[in-house]
Structure 1
Amino acid sequence: MERRDTAFRGCVPPEKRVAIALWKLATGSEYRTIGHLFGVSVSTVCRCVQDFCTAAETLLVPEQIRFPDEENFKEMAAYNEKRWGLPHCVGAIDGSHIPIIAPQDYHCDYFNRKGWHSIILQGVVDGKGLFWNVFSGLPESCHDARVLRLSALWELASRGNHFPAHTRNIGGVNTGYYILGDSAYPLLNWLLKPFHDTGRLTAEQQTFNKKVSRARVVVENAFGRLKERWRCLLKRNDCVIQLVKSMVVTCCALHNLCESYGETYNSEWDALTAVTVVEPVVEVAQGAEEGRDVREGLMRHLLL
């Protein structure tokens, strides 16, 4: 992000350029307001944000958000089992809305059921609330299950190239590593979700749903802490779609950086809470039968 002085004027120091970008990400303030605060032009603020996010995607994101290796999977599974009692679980997946201004093209696709325009951020977190996979940029009209199918996670996991071939007998079923999702996601051997509540669930199924919901709260808390710390994701973002995508991924990497180093988080920031939206149930034939077997085995294990 460093620039050279010219014959006409001195460049903005890299420390100040980083500070300008971080102020934009942390507050979501308008370019003009930030320009007055730092004594630079609106165009300079815009360039600083773009350059910082580009540099972060090149250097910071690959370092902070990366697919775990086999040793990382073992550590995540051990942590989740110790904390939530769910063996072989390596994380939870969910989606979150990122407010934007109406784009010029296909703006209706970005209009959500809450009455504003947004894109979707899909995130997978470990038991500590750190993102190890993110995918963003699709319009709100895409269902969570479709967002998953269009992501790299789906492609790698469906081909068996993502989760290590490490199985464990759980409740009489050989189970590999898996993540937890809500009812909007398909039931697969590597993605488990609660039983759909038809009003006729058995006591065992209700107990299973409660345990899974307790474990899934980690991804909801991660989204909450992400947005409260980096408020450009909480307010309506006035940047173009492509830059918004870059800002989202950058903020996820910064979230991991702050959480890993124990950066102070003020609980008063949790004043605004997200409204839970009930998504329709989605099932797919491929892998659903194996997913049901894994879920039944896990339920038997939890009831022991």
Structure 2
Amino acid sequence: MSEETFIYLYNKLRPVMERQDTSFRKCVPLKKRVAIALWKLATGSEYRTVGHLFGVSITTVCRCVQEFTAAAETLLVPEQIRYPDQEKFEEMAAYIENRWGLPQCVGAIDGSHIPILAPQEYHCDYFNRKGWHSIVLQGVVDGKGLFWNVFAGLPGSLHDARVLRLSTLWELASRGNHFPAYTTGNIGGVNVAYYILGDSAYPLQNWLLKPFTDTGRLTVEQQIYNKKICRARVVVENAFGRLKGRWRCLMKRNDSDVTIVKSMILTCCALHNLCESHGEDYDDDWDAPAAAEPVVPVAQGVEEEGRDVREGLMRYFNC
């Protein structure tokens, strides 16, 4: 994240996160608290390691992360993950049609498992088919890989189709209140409204298209359709890869409460949109493996470079 984007984020969250000194003690500077939270989300390091790096207690690190994610949910998430208006829908549809040749398509949907420690209550519900505990993140992205609808927090044992039916997206779209139904395009003599793309796990709807099931007897037209769908759907898979690659706390077992993990997920999705829209550099080496198993949070390599990093941080934050 560049300094320009950091300052933008700092000013955005300042009205909620700013604290005043008291006669008993001085508060941790706001820039430093934002940096602590970003470091935790970006590295997934243990609270102890982050506290040692920034020269604060474990409690302070925990409080900074919670305050940052709460402020981001209030101010940043509504700004960065917004329901598109009519003009935005037209823009998204035009972009996808120009790139993949799919008219009236406004995005793609998929789900991703975020690893957590087993909760004390109903822990079996969070045990997913991959063999570990998680909560599900459902995301809808546009052709540029920016999230415009997210839904997180349900147990990892639920199927993607079940998560969709429990989300607000399903409720609104089923009622015809989500996509502008009055805007239609003519495809092969058929009037088609806006729609999104999903994989075979999702139910077929007039606003959600999926590939034909490969029975070995698909026609040439059906095979071409499946190829076009799969090419376009890659955008949501890439978005999840870049999301987890930049905010690696989503790749490690999170030891926080489920409600806090949900807040961290939504915050990371908003930060993903912020960094992508601001043109922040992304190293392909950060990409999350497609089928990576979650790992226990460790700060490998942080201790070795801790001295240099800490000295630079202390000079920057004057602490």
Alignment of 1:49-64 (within 5 A): 49-64=65-80
Counterpart among 186, 211, 224 of residue 203 in structure 2? 186
Matched position secondary structure for 2:96: helix
Distance in 2 between residues matched to 1:207 and 1:216, nearest whole Å: 14
Cα shift readout 1:250-298 (whole Å, capped 9, x = no counterpart): 000000000001100001112x41239xxxxxxxxxxxxxxxxxxxxxx
Confirm or deny that 1:202 pairs with 2:226: no
- Paired residue secondary structure (2:196): strand
Structure 1 position 243 matched with structure 2 position 260: yes
Q: What are the residue-to-residue correspondences of 1:79-90 with 2, within 5 Å?
A: 79-90=95-106
Aligned ranges for residues 264-279 of structure 1 at < 5 Å?
Answer: 264-270=281-287, 272-275=288-291
Q: 2:37 aligns with which of 3, 14, 21?
A: 21
1:46 and 2:62 are equivalent in the alignment: yes
Cα distance in structure 1, aligned partners of 2:40 and 2:167: 28
TM-score normalised to structure 1 length: 0.89
1:81 maps to amino acid: E
CA distance in 2, matches of 1:266, 1:275: 19
Deviation at 1:230, TM superposition (A): 0.2
Farther-moved stretch of structure 1 (12-21 vs 199-208) = 199-208
Residue matched to 1:291: none
Pairwise CA RMSD: 1.0
Q: Secondary structure at the match of 2:254?
A: coil
Distance 1:257 1:106 in 2: 35
SS in 2 for 1:92: strand
Cα distance in 2, alignment partners of residues 81 and 133 from structure 1? 20
Identify the match of residue 163 of structure 2 among 140, 147, 160.
Answer: 147
Distance of 1:7 and 1:69 partners within structure 2: 49
Distance in structure 2 (CA, Å) of the matches to 1:9 and 1:204:
71
Alignment-mate amino acid for residue 166 of structure 1: T
Q: CA deviation at 1:104?
A: 0.5
**More displaced, 2-11 or 108-117?**
2-11
Amino acid at match of 2:106: V
The secondary structure found in structure 2 opposite 1:169 is strand
Worse overlay, 200-209 or 122-131 = 200-209
* Matching residue of 1:301: none
Q: 1:8, CA displacement in angstroms?
A: 2.4
| CA displacement at 1:169 relative to structure 2 | 1.2
Residue 310 of structure 2: aligned partner: none
**Counterpart mapping for 1:1-304 below 5 A:** 1-164=17-180, 165-270=182-287, 272-275=288-291
Q: What SS does structure 2 have at the residue aligned with 1:132?
A: strand
Cα distance in 1, alignment partners of residues 283 and 89 from structure 2: 30
* Number of aligned positions between the proteins: 275
* Aligned-residue offset at 1:121: 0.3
